[in-house]
Structure 1
């Protein structure tokens, strides 16, 4: 039996979760479909956020190197890659948990699996072979970039 939502958002990256959160804020019933184990997409899990955590360490090393210019005597005695990896993982985990909390708080229903359009106003979610959920949505909308403004169709 298909479940019906006002909107089904495919992909929980920055564009997807922002859309889902805003739709829920406006009072719509929202399904958010994500194929990865965690919400946030590439940026949060493998791209922007992990990279920025690593850049933080590089910046700290750079700052320590130039500290004597300001009169500070700082000694860097080594580099612990394991601790840096743990720092990166903690940063990502904190943001993933925060996002999951926001999604849950707004009442968004999350489906894990591969989404595919299955017909008129219908999305099929396949979490694993031989298992699927069918979601129906009330209204479709697409935002296309046109020049410097967005046209909704």
Structure 2
């Protein structure tokens, strides 16, 4: 009788177009990430997706540094812009938690609530919320970085 893991692996392989991904956790949308992987010419080398993912890592690190600087300067507009930028990059890879946190930073930088629907005129409140969210997004990023580096054997 097959174990649960064996059954899951068989189910993964039987899905139409599936590349048999390991469990990416709830921080990465498997369907979105698989679309990136489908562009690889060689499933063993994965040069195309690897370059996109590792390019994102560099981009994210640089953006976090810029966010830290903008936070020190109290520059809500810059924080909103950086949040928007990183939101798009993380969405492309299916990094859902990172994307959601970056969207919150974008909204807080626009002096709005986390959903972007209600005005928050107090800049100090917005900066405080960004500071908290930045801590969370860096943790979420570290989690997906670890999973993806393991996936790529790095």
TM norm structure 1: 0.31
Max radius of gyration: which structure?
A: 1
- Normalized against structure 2, the TM-score is what? 0.31
Higher-strand-fraction structure: 1
| Structure ranking higher in helix proportion | 2
